Amino acid sequence: MADEQQKRKIQVKFDSDQEAGVYSNAISVHLKKNEVVMDFGYIIPNVDPTTIKVVSRINVTHETAESFLKVLSNAVLDWKNKQKKA
């Protein structure tokens, strides 16, 4: 049964206004009882005091946050290993 689940294909679709993505160079994470809230932002240059414009807020369950952490960690490690070989 696990093999069947691994073979299942998943198709991801984006609305046309989301395909380009949004640039973010700052993140803030807030933990609540039933969810994790991640605010992605952009540090506005040459502004005093330092100002961050939030460009996206993502709310996920704790389980989804743990899964995201694993996926992100593996992706970064894969990228680092490829950089070492280049």
Q: Is residue 5 part of a domain?
A: no
Separation in Å, CA 63 to CA 43, 55, 59, 76: 29, 24, 12, 20
Domain membership of residue 3 (yes or no) is no
Confidence of residue 4 (pLDDT cuts 50, 70, 90): low
pTM for the structure as a whole:
0.76
Residue in the block written with tokens 């490690």 = 77
The values of phi and psi at residue 30, to 5°, are -120, 130
24-83 pLDDT, tens digit per residue, is 999 999 999 999 999 999 999 999 999 999 999 999 999 999 999 999 999 999 999 999
Tokens of 35: 């969810």
Residue 2 lies in a domain: no
The domain of 53 spans 22-85
How many domains in the chain?
Answer: 1
CATH of the domain at 33: 2.30.31
